[in-house]
Chains A and B, each alone.
Chain A
Amino acid sequence: MTRIIDEQLSALLDGELPAEQESLLLRRLEREPELREKLARFGLIGELVRDASAPTSALVISERVSAAIAAESTTGQSDESPSVGFGFMGAGIAAMIALVVMFNLVGTGGTAYSPGINTVAGSVPAASGHEHGMAEDSVRLTRYLVSHAQYSNSTSRQLVNSHIAMAAATPGVWTSHE
């Protein structure tokens, strides 16, 4: 069963999942955080390509996803187990990914974290003054982003649109570089 789901997630990322299966899978993704975590892990191109041993071309992303699926299968463990195929991704990182996915998908406005970046959100009770400033500043940056999007060309328009969607959904999603 796990393997079938894995193959469906892989096909979804490749845009090759039949429509009837896709709608079912998307509904499951809405309901199941673990499944969203797994999809994010499969599609985590940034982490995948940072592995020096991995091929850098996006053309082989599906092969890498397949390899990840195979690696997961060889563990004989449950869906929640981190994949041994991603040696650079320990359980801690997997948990953080789950957190990030949760915050971004559920839109709680909480604090998310990803390696190397301080992410600040608006409704964190324990946030420092600086963090609150960052959260309030997100409104200004999002206003700028909407204006900037008006002048993006077709190469990057969809990406910028996605950023607007992210920013609108989670006011504190702008992150400050360390």
Chain B
Amino acid sequence: MSDTRHIFRGSKPRYCWLSIFLLLACNVMAQSPHDWLERMDGANEKFNYQGTLVHMCDGTMDIVRIVHRVDHGQVTERMTAQASGGRQIIRSTDKVMCILPDQKKVTVEQRNSSGSPMDSKIANFPSFSNINAQLYDISILGEDQIAERETIILAIHPADSFRFGYRLWLDHRTALPLKFELVDEAGRGLEQGVFTEIEFYESIPAEDVEPTLATDGFEWKRSAVVAIETQDDATADKPPGSGWRVEILPPGFKLTFAQSRLDTVATTTLDQLVYSDGLATISVFIEPEMAESAAVEGASKIGATNAFTTFRNGYLITAMGGVPLETARKAALSVSPR
């Protein structure tokens, strides 16, 4: 990181005036909770940073070192766990690589660019400014300091039990969430993450998001996903793929993205329908049921991400998202051909 220039370190006098200016600008520009959400939405594609994230859920804790690089709006991120020999995940627009030194494995999933809108705007993803006030109550709770930085605390409370709520500690200057909690309808915490330290940079060299682990002798598994048909037009009558639809979804969820793609390793097609209410997102996956499939019917979870899998007419259907299990279950069970 020696050739990068450090920014946003409030303790450094030479940036004092810049800090004051930005602080005033932020106060002017982000008066309402929705304004803060809009700023947060764009922060991921604007700022280079590295930091340490402590993540807790289900009674477990993990410490992850994150290097986040933005180059012409394209995001590459390297996450390194502090334990297990420093397992690494590197995500970019067209590739996800997982290096698992404790298992001596490397997995690489390659995607063609048309099928990977990561960190770019999905055409019909609902704008935060248009979030239905009947679905979520959004308010500013106050201010706090996280990782030696000033934050504003945003509370997003769901109006029903079909979706989760959030508490977000947004950095005053960048609107990046420095602390976040997922909560249920009653306000009970389900999951939490906090940056214990974070530093922002004007730029980060490409090599700083490259793998740092030696992988000699590791088992490599590569797969590629090729988009056959992609559509991010929620107004269209017929989504791509074999024409599926989800009949039972909570109020406010709309189709925002649909794709049919080919997994070159599994040699099967996989349809994905993405529904969102502006905050919560549910993906519904549909693929032909294979005789040798190890898929298990029923509910699964990791952290607060719930999934429900069912078999229907020779197809394997799974609904997944950061939503309560019941929402995922109803979505999966109500999938039908158009």
Binding site for B on A (CB under 8 A): 12-17, 19, 22, 26, 29-30, 36, 39-40, 43-50, 56-59, 61, 96-97, 100-101, 104-109, 112, 114, 117, 130, 133-134, 136-137, 139-141, 143-169, 173-177
Check A141–B98 contact: CB distance below 8 A.
no
Q: Which of B13-21, B25-33, B58-66, B202-210 contacts the other chain? A: B58-66
Check A141–B196 contact: CB distance below 8 A.
no
Name which residue of chain B comes closest to A44, CB basis: B59
Residues of chain A within 8 A (CB-CB) of B64 are 162, 165
Instruction: Give the dominant DSSP class at A's interface.
Output: helix
Q: Which of B211-219, B237-245, B274-282 contacts the other chain? A: B274-282
Check B320–A13 contact: CB distance below 8 A.
no
Check B82–A26 contact: CB distance below 8 A.
yes
**Which of A43, A155, A166, A176 has its CB near the most chain B CB atoms (within 10 A)?**
A155
Name which residue of chain B comes closest to A57, CB basis: B187
Binding site for A on B (CB under 8 A): 37, 40-41, 43-44, 52-64, 77, 79, 81-84, 87, 89, 91, 96, 98, 100, 102-103, 107, 109, 116-118, 122, 125, 141-142, 144-148, 153, 156, 166-168, 177-183, 186-197, 225, 256-257, 272, 274, 276, 278-281, 283, 285, 294-296, 298-305, 307, 309, 318, 320-322, 325
Contact for A169 among B81, B294, B320, CB less than 8 A: B81
Residues of chain B within 8 A (CB-CB) of A136 are 294
Residues of chain A within 8 A (CB-CB) of B193 are 158-159, 162
The 7 A-B pairs with the shortest beta carbon distances in the complex, nearest first, are A136-B294, A45-B189, A107-B84, A177-B299, A15-B146, A15-B147, A168-B98
Minimum distance in angstroms from A19 CB to a CB of chain B: 6
List 14 A–B pairs whose Cβ atoms lie within 8 Å, in order of A's numbering: A13-B194, A26-B63, A45-B181, A46-B59, A46-B190, A117-B58, A141-B320, A149-B118, A150-B118, A159-B193, A165-B89, A168-B98, A175-B301, A176-B299
Give Cα A43–Cα B59 distance, bound, in whole angstroms. Answer: 8
Name which residue of chain A comes closest to B149, CB basis: A15
Check A168–B196 contact: CB distance below 8 A.
no
Check B188–A22 contact: CB distance below 8 A.
no
Name which residue of chain A comes closest to B198, CB basis: A15
